[in-house]
Structure 1
C-alpha cells in the first residue's frame, strides 16, 4: 500500500489512542503516538503511547520505550507536533532523533510558541524525514481544547442539553425531570470523562443537589473538576458537591466581594474558591469565568447548566460545540425553553453552527453542532 494510505490509517489509530488521555493530562494536550516498522512483510505497530499526567512522559517517549531498538529505522505517527523545549520532561523531538526514527508523521502543528515549528525543524536538522498535516481535521478536533487555550486564552466549551420532543428542558415547579434514557446517560458520562471540567450555575446546584461526577463502572477516577458559578458563595456546606470535594475537585467561581466567612467555610470543607470581579449586573460574566479556567490549565469544559447558563454562554459566543439530546417525552404546558425564552432553533438555525453528526441513541436522538471559528 502507498505511504499516503498507511499514513491516514495509522494517524487515525494514533488519534484513537490519544483519547485515552483526554480529561486526564491537562494543562498538557492529550497526544497519541505510534511507532510503526516495516521490514518488508508489511507495517507492524511496535510501540504505542499516549500522554501521561503532568510530570510523566509524553506520548512519543512512551511509544519509544515500548518499541525499544525496533524504533531504529521506523516511522512515528504523532497527533501533535513533538515538543522542542525542556520542561518537566525532555524534548520529544530529540528523543525521536536519538532513537533513530527514520520518519515522523505529524497530524497537527503545535501553536504553542515554545514549539510552533521548532519541533519539525529539530527533527529535520537531525536528518529525520517529516510529513505534517496528515488527518489534520481529525487531529485538530482532538486538540481543539489545547489550541483554544493557547490562541484564545480559554478552554474549548461544549454545551450539553437534553430536550423533550416539544423542545423543553424541564417544567416549571416540577423539579428535576429525567428527559432522556440510559443510553444517552452513558454517552454523556463518557463525554464527561473526556473533559477537564464540568460547569453549572448555582441555580442548578441548589435545585438539583447534583454530584457531577462520572458514574460509569470503571470511570469514576476520570471525573472532571466540578466548577460552580456561585457569585455570592451560596453553595450549602451540606450539599452533595461539598460532601464529595475530597474525592473529586470542586472549584467555586465567586465574586471578589463574596462573604469571607462563607468562602472560608467552603475552603475549609475542601473547595477551591476562585475570586473574580463582580460586574455591574451582579453576575460573573461567562467570559471572565472561562478566562480564569484557562489560566488554571483547563482545556476542555463541559457546560451542563440550566436555561440561564446555556443562554449566557451562547450570547457570549463561547459555545464551541453544542450537543442536544432529544427524547420522545412531551412536557407540554409550563415547559422551560432551553435558552431563556428561545428554543433549540437558536442553535439549529444559526448559520454559524454546522451539524457534524446526528445519531439515534436508544429511543433518543443526539445532534452535535460545531461553531465555525474559521473567521475568528
Structure 2
C-alpha cells in the first residue's frame, strides 16, 4: 500500500483518490455477484493514504471495513473515498456508514448513491446525522458502469442482458451449410480473430450466466465455459432455451453438467427429464400460452436465482427475439473483414422497426486490427 501523501489541490486530490478507489473496485469484477462492486480509500487528516480495500466477493467484508481495518486509529479526522454509498443495514459486519462515523472519519466522498430504491440515501443520512461531511459525484460514470448489472437487478428484478454477436461485414454468422442437420460431430465456425475470442472469454468471466438456444447447441455442440483463466467465486450458469427438450444426452454441455447447466423447456416428457436430471442438468419448466418459451419470464426466473448478468451467445432467432422484445441492455458486436454472401445465416431476422445503436463505442481488435468491436449501451440500467 502506498504511504505517501498526495500534494494536490482539494478537487484534484479527490479525483486522484477516487480513481484509486475505482481501480480497487475493479478487482472485484466477476467475483462480487450478487453484491455490488465497491472500492474504498482512506486518507488521514493530512491527506496521506492510510487504508484501502475492495469487496472481494459475497460474504466477505465490505470495502470500507477492509480499509478501516488497515487504517486503524489513523482514520480519525480523515476522508473516505468510496465508489458506492456506504451501506446502512446490518450484515456480517454491521452498517458501513456507522463504522466510518465511529472511526472518526470527518468527510466521505462517494461516487454515487446506492441504486436500491429501498435504501438509497440511508447511508448518507446516517453519516450526516453523525456530523460527517458527505460529497457525491466524483467518479460516478465509472461506478455506474461497474455496477450496471447490480443496478438493473436490484431496481427491476431482471438481469442485465448483453447480446454478443460475431458476424461478417455482410451481417452473417455462419455459412448456410452450418445450419443443416448432420450425424457428424459439429465444431464452431470461427468468424472473428483469436483476440476477439479472448475478449469474449473475459466477458464470460464477468457474467453470471451464459444464455443460448437449442439451435446453437445442435449446430456447434459448444461447451460454453469461462476459459479466461481468471478465478471465479460462482460457477458460470449455462442456460439453454430448448422448448421441445431436444438437447442431446451426449452433447458437451450435458456431459460436463455439474448443477451449472439449466435447460428451460415446455416439454412434459418425464422420462427425458429424468435422464437429464440424473446427469446433473437442472430443468426449468414453463407454461406459456403459445409454443415458444417466454423470454421475459426466463429472465425473471434467473433473477430470482441471484443471476445479475446474462451474456447471450445464440443464433438468428434468439438474437431477433431479444431485440424485438426490448430485453437487451447492451450490444457487443464483433465484425470480421469477411463476406459469406446472401445464402449464409444472418445475425438477425426481420425486426419490427429500424434499430439504432446509441452511444456506440468502436474499437479495433487483434494484432493486425483485423476485427471491429462495436459496443452500445441501449438503456441506462440506473434509471
Could you tell me the TM-score, scaled by structure 2's length?
A: 0.87
Distance 1:207 1:89, change over 3 A: farther
Number of the residue aligned with 1:250: 261
Does structure 1 residue 170 correspond to structure 2 residue 174?
A: yes
Q: What is the CA–CA distance in structure 1 between the aligned matches of 2:122 and 2:26, rounded to whole Å?
A: 25
Please say if residues 23 and 224 of structure 1, whose CA atoms lie closer than 8 Å, have aligned partners that are also in contact.
Answer: no
Q: Deviations over 1:332-352 (max 9, x none)?
A: 24222111246xx954xx2xx
Moved more, 215-224 or 307-316: 215-224
Q: How many residues align?
A: 364
Query: How far apart are residue 119 of structure 1 and its match?
Result: 0.6
Q: What is the CA–CA distance in structure 2 between the aligned matches of 1:25 and 1:31, rounded to whole Å?
A: 9
Q: What is the CA–CA distance in structure 2 between the aligned matches of 1:360 and 1:346, rounded to whole Å?
A: 26
Does structure 1 residue 284 correspond to structure 2 residue 288?
A: no
Does structure 1 residue 196 correspond to structure 2 residue 208?
A: yes
Q: What's the secondary structure of 2:111's corresponding residue? A: strand
Q: What is the CA–CA distance in structure 2 between the aligned matches of 1:214 and 1:106, rounded to whole Å?
A: 33
Q: Give structure 1 stretches of 5+ with no counterpart.
A: none
Q: What is the CA–CA distance in structure 2 between the aligned matches of 1:134 and 1:162, rounded to whole Å?
A: 36
Q: Give structure 2 stretches of 5+ with no counterpart.
A: 1-7, 180-187
Number of the residue aligned with 1:82: 86
Mapping of residues 56-71 of structure 1, within 5 Å: 56-71=60-75
- Of residues 108, 121, 127 in structure 2, which corresponds to 1:123? 127
**Bigger-Rg structure (1/2):** 2
Q: Deviations over 1:16-42 (max 9, x none)?
A: 322222232222112222223362xxx
Q: What's the secondary structure of 1:317's corresponding residue? A: coil
Q: What's the secondary structure of 1:169's corresponding residue? A: strand
Distance 1:221 1:84, change over 3 A: closer
Q: What is the CA–CA distance in structure 1 between the aligned matches of 2:53 and 2:260, rounded to whole Å?
A: 27
Could you tell me the TM-score, scaled by structure 1's length?
A: 0.89
Distance 1:208 1:116, change over 3 A: same
Does structure 1 residue 297 correspond to structure 2 residue 306?
A: yes
Q: What's the secondary structure of 2:119's corresponding residue? A: coil
Distance 1:121 1:328, change over 3 A: same
Moved more, 308-317 or 66-75: 66-75
Q: What is the CA–CA distance in structure 2 between the aligned matches of 1:219 and 1:72, rounded to whole Å?
A: 36
Please say if residues 123 and 129 of structure 1, whose CA atoms lie closer than 8 Å, have aligned partners that are also in contact.
Answer: yes
Query: How far apart are residue 161 of structure 1 and its match?
Result: 0.6
